[in-house]
Amino acid sequence: MTNNGTILSVKDLKTYFQTEDGVVKAVDGISFELKKGETLGIVGESGSGKSVTNLSIMRLIPEPPGKIVGGDVVFDGIDVRSLSIDEVRKIRGKRIAMIFQDPMTSLNPFLKVSTQLMEVTQLHLGHDKTQAYEHGVKMLETVGIPDPRSRMDGYPHELSGGMRQRVMIAMALSCDPELLIADEPTTALDVTIQAQILELIKDLKARMGTSVILITHDLGVVAGMTEKIIVMYAGKVFEQAPTKELFSTPANPYTRGLLKSVPDPAHEQGKELYQIPGLPPDVAHLPPGCPFAERCDRVEDICRKEYPPFVQINEGHHSLCHFAKEVYEESRREKAAAA
């Protein structure tokens, strides 16, 4: 491996959508790096650009109306943006695989489970029918589907939501990819099934050494799964930090707001749960200052006028805020007081 163990590096990625309402800057200058075997969490509200970031990595943005207008995506030393679409297809499904949010609609209802599983390895690994079938059975077994042979010949609608997501994972991991992008893999599932699926991803990641990008809006999901986290808001990275540090000493008012919004059963029974006021801004018409200014609890004049800087707090910990250092100190004081 080249690039000292870095599997994916995204620099200043910009993906815009042309709409009747103007240019929507869905992703506007995202940068991050992912090391081999590492798990990265991307957190944010709906519409913050989490999914678009990852669809951009695989060049799956519907074009038009979307377009990657700037930045670099380097996967294992390959500049993905400069590849032809045929070369990108050789990476998709083979070296970078994806699991989508809704397993109910992400599997093709018209095709057998076997067909959908087999076509990946037939395409990328050159399997013949028998090999692909046996490989499919093995993969279903790996993801914990009972009686895999009879499931192979069934259709997706005969499976429960959790089972379908397992099939999706089996499909994604069929070619032993180096990078797995899981786009809200548990959002559409029951809480008990959620835990099972997350355990499964964690377990398979450990066994196969796959790097993972886990997209979610659920902080609880990323807490136990990831090494570092990116918090996205309005198409921008608001905070980036190692998971532990982000949870203990956040340096961005938005992250603090998100963490405060998580219900904590151990504390303050009967107290109303905190919520960030207002709604995410319309990314087609962003104000000149900080996009979070209108909802921020410590907003000052400068926030509305000037775009905030991306401040480095520690090694690997950055925050997009005029008062990043102050917020960080505040978090540290609170943490010390609590201890």
Partner 1 sequence: MLSFLLRRLLLIVPMALLVVTLTWGLIRIAPGTFYDSEKKLPPAVEANIKKKYGLDKPWYYQYFIMLGNVTCRTMAEDETTLNGIQFNVGSARVKCFDFGDSLKYEGQSVNEIIRRHLPYSATIGIIAYILALIVGGSAGLFAALRQNSIYDYGSMALAMLGLSVPNFVLGPILVLIFALGLYMVPAARWGGILNLILPVITLSAIYAAYIARLTRAGMLEVMRSDYIRTARAKGLNETSVLLKHAIRGGIIPVVSFTGPALAALLAGTVVVERIFSIPGLGNIFIQSVLNRDEPLTLGIVAFLSVLVMLLNLIVDISYGFLDPRIRYE
Residues of this chain that bind partner 1 (CB under 8 A): 58, 60, 64, 86, 89-94, 97-98, 100, 102, 105-112, 119-120, 123-124, 155, 157, 168, 171
Nearer to partner 1, 98 or 232 (CB): 98
Comparison of 111 and 206: residue with beta carbon closer to partner 1: 111
User: Shortest Cβ distance from residue 52 to partner 1 (Å)?
Assistant: 13
Of 243, 223, 242, 256, whose CA–CA distance to 314 is shortest? 242
Nearer to partner 1, 177 or 253 (CB): 177
Maximum separation of any 2 CA atoms in the chain, in Å: 67
Contact in structure between 117 and 170 (CB atoms under 8 Å) = yes
Q: Minimum Å distance from CB 84 to partner 1?
A: 12
Which residue, 60 or 286, is less far from partner 1 as judged by CB?
A: 60
**CB closer to partner 1, 91 vs 327:** 91
The answer to whether the peptide bond before residue 265 is cis (omega within 30 degrees of 0) is no
Compute the least distance from the CB of residue 144 to partner 1, in Å. Answer: 21
**Closer residue to partner 1 (CB): 12 or 158:** 158
Nearest CB to partner 1, comparing residues 64 and 263: 64
CB neighbours of 26 closer than 8 A, spacing ≥ 6?
15, 16, 17, 49, 52, 66, 235, 283
What is the closest distance, in whole angstroms, from the C-beta atom of residue 15 to partner 1 in the complex? 15
Q: Is 41 left (phi over 0), alpha (psi -120 to 50) or beta?
A: beta
* Smallest gap from residue 277 Cβ to partner 1 (A): 33
For the bound state, the minimum distance from the C-beta of residue 267 to partner 1, rounded and expressed in Å, comes to 39
Least Cβ distance, residue 274 to partner 1 (angstroms) = 34
Within 8 A by CB and 6+ apart from 326, the residues are none
Q: How near is the Cβ of 58 to partner 1 at its closest, in Å? A: 6
C-alpha span between 124 and 281 (Å, rounded): 42
Q: What is the DSSP string of 222-287?
A: HHTT-SEEEEEETTEEEEEEEHHHHHHS--SHHHHHHHHTS--TTS-TTSPPP---S----TTS--
The alpha-helical segments, DSSP class H, found in the chain are 50-57, 85-91, 103-106, 113-124, 129-142, 148-152, 161-173, 191-208, 219-223, 243-248, 253-260, 301-305, 324-338
Nearer to partner 1, 155 or 274 (CB): 155
How far CA 67 is from CA of 9, 62, 80, 205, in Å, comes to: 19, 8, 14, 31
In the complex with partner 1, which residue's Cβ is closer, 204 or 303?
Answer: 204
Work out how close the CB of 157 gets to partner 1 at its nearest, in angstroms, rounded to a whole number. Answer: 5
Classified as helix, coil or strand, 6 is: strand
Please, is 242 exposed, middle or buried when counting C-beta atoms within 10 Å of its C-beta (0-12, 13-18, 19+)? middle
